[in-house]
C-alpha cells in the first residue's frame, strides 16, 4: 500500500492546514549580517521559496500564499525594486516547468498591472501553462496590499449595485470575499512571519481573520523545511475555537 507523504513527518493528515500564507521577511538583514548587498539576501530568499513550495506540495497543502512584494515596497530605493523585479522574472522563468510538472497552479494576487511589462509577460506565460493543474495553488502576492484589495472589492460591489446586477441586501461577507484576489480559495489556516516582526504589514487583512499566527526569528533565507514541518505539527496541537466555548468531556472528546 502506498503511504501518505505527510505521515513520515508525524503530521496528521486529517487536520492538515488547507492554506498556508507566509510573510517572507528578513532578506535584507540576512545579507547585512554577511556584509553583502541586500539583493544577495533576496537571491538567497528565492532558494527558500523553491524549497518551501516543494515541501508544501509534498505534504499535500492545497494553497500556499507567499508575500513577495507589497504595495508599500514600491517606496524602496529604485535599484532594489529593479533588482527584485529582475529576480522575480528569473524565478518565474526558471520555475515554470518545475511547477507544472509538480501539478502546481500559479496565481498572482495583487496589482499585476503595476509590474514591469516583461514581468507581466512571464506571469501570464506561467499562469497559462499551469492553469489546469490541481495539485496545489501557489499564490504569489505581488504589489499586494490588503487595504487596496478590500477597496477594490468594495468598488466591484458598488459597480455591480449601480448596474443592477446585485441589490444592497446582496452585499454579504461572501459577496465581498468572492471579489477579493483570493476569491474562491479557502482562508489561510496559518500565517507565518519570519525575522521576528510582530505585524501583518497589510497582508491578507480580511482573509487572516481566524488564521493561526506563527512568528519565528529565523530570517527568510535561513527558513527550512524542518522549521516549516515543526510549525505544521504545532498548528495541529492548537485549539481553534473561533470565538466559541469548547467543552471537553471527561473522556477528552470535544462536545
Ligand atoms: C523581505 O525581506 C523581502 C521583501 C520585502 C521584498 P526585506 O527586504 O524586508 O528584509 P529586511 O526586513 O530588510 O531584513
Ligand atoms: C512585508 O515585509 C512585505 C513582504 C514580505 C513582501 P516588509 O519588510 O516590507 O514589512 P515592514 O516594512 O517591516 O512592515
Ligand atoms: Mg522587511
Pocket test for ligand 1, best of 23, 24, 28 (most atoms within 8 A of CB): 28
Q: What was the pLDDT predicted at 72?
A: 98
222-236 mean pLDDT: 98
Rg (CA), the chain: 19
Helices (H) and strands (E) in the chain — how many of each? 7, 6
Read off the pLDDT of each residue in 7-19 and give the average, rounded to a whole number: 93
Ligand 2 in reach of 142 Cβ (< 6 A): no
Model pTM? Answer: 0.95
Mean pLDDT of 170-186: 98
Measured CA to CA, the distance from residue 165 to residue 173 in angstroms comes to 17
Question: What does the pLDDT average to over 168-183?
Answer: 98
pLDDT tens per residue, range 86-105: 999 999 999 999 999 999 99
137, 105 in Cβ contact below 8 A? Answer: yes
For the chain, domains (ranges, CATH) are 7-235 (3.40.1180.10)
Q: Is the pLDDT of residue 10 over 80?
A: yes
Whether residue 202 has its Cβ less than 6 Å from ligand 2: no
> For the purposes of burial, counting CB atoms within 10 Å of the CB of 184, is it exposed (0-12), middle (13-18) or buried (19 or more)?
exposed
Cβ of 32 closer than 6 Å to ligand 1, yes or no, is no
**β-bridge partners, 10:** none
**CA–CA separation, 117 vs 113, rounded Å?**
8
Question: What pLDDT does residue 252 have?
Answer: 42
> Mean pLDDT, to the nearest integer, of 166-170?
98
* C-beta atoms surrounding 194 within 10 Å: 25
pLDDT score, position 5: 72
* Euclidean distance between CA atoms 67 and 197, whole angstroms: 14
Ligand 2, pocket-test mutation among 32, 72, 91, 143, most atoms within 8 A of CB: 72
What does the pLDDT read at residue 7? 75
- 141 in ligand 2 pocket by Cβ < 6 Å? no
Instruction: Compute the distance between CA of residue 141 and CA of residue 67 in angstroms, rounded to an integer.
Output: 5
What would the grid cell of residue 160 be?
455591480
CB-proximal residues (5 Å) to ion ligand 3: 25
- Is the CB of residue 110 less than 8 Å from the CB of residue 141? yes
| Structure confidence at residue 246 as a pLDDT band (50, 70, 90) | confident
Closest approach atom of ligand 1 to CA 31: 14
Predicted pLDDT of residue 74: 98
- Centre of ligand 2 from the C-alpha of residue 59, in Å: 27
DSSP calls for 144-210: E-HHHHHHHHHHHHHHHHHTTSS-GGG--HHHHHHTSTTTTSPPPSEEEE-TT----TTSSTTGGGG
Amino acid at each position: 500500500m502506498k503511504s501518505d507523504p505527510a505521515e513520515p513527518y508525524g503530521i496528521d493528515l486529517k487536520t492538515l492546514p488547507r492554506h498556508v500564507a507566509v510573510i517572507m521577511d528578513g532578506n535584507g538583514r540576512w545579507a547585512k549580517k554577511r556584509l553583502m548587498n541586500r539583493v544577495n539576501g533576496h537571491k538567497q530568499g528565492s532558494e527558500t521559496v523553491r524549497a518551501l513550495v516543494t515541501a508544501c506540495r509534498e505534504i499535500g497543502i492545497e494553497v500556499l500564499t507567499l508575500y513577495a512584494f507589497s504595495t508599500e515596497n514600491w517606496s524602496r530605493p529604485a535599484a532594489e525594486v529593479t533588482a527584485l523585479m529582475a529576480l522575480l522574472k528569473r524565478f518565474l522563468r526558471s520555475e515554470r516547468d518545475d511547477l507544472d510538472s509538480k501539478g502546481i497552479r500559479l496565481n498572482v494576487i495583487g496589482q499585476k498591472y503595476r509590474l514591469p511589462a516583461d514581468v507581466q509577460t512571464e506571469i501570464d506565460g506561467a499562469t497559462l501553462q499551469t492553469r489546469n493543474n490541481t495539485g496545489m495553488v501557489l499564490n504569489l502576492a505581488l504589489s499586494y496590499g490588503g487595504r487596496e484589495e478590500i477597496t477594490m472589492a468594495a468598488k466591484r460591489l458598488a459597480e455591480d449595485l449601480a448596474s443592477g446586477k446585485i441589490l444592497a441586501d446582496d452585499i454579504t461577507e461572501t459577496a465581498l470575499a468572492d471579489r477579493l484576489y483570493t476569491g474562491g480559495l479557502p482562508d489561510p489556516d496559518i500565517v507565518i512571519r519570519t525575522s521576528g516582526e510582530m505585524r501583518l504589514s497589510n497582508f491578507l487583512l480580511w482573509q487572516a481573520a481566524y488564521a493561526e499566527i506563527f512568528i519565528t526569528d529565523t530570517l527568510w533565507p535561513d527558513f527550512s523545511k524542518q522549521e516549516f514541518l515543526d510549525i505544521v505539527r504545532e498548528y495541529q496541537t492548537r485549539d481553534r475555537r473561533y470565538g466559541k466555548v469548547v467543552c471537553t468531556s471527561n473522556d477528552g472528546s470535544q462536545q
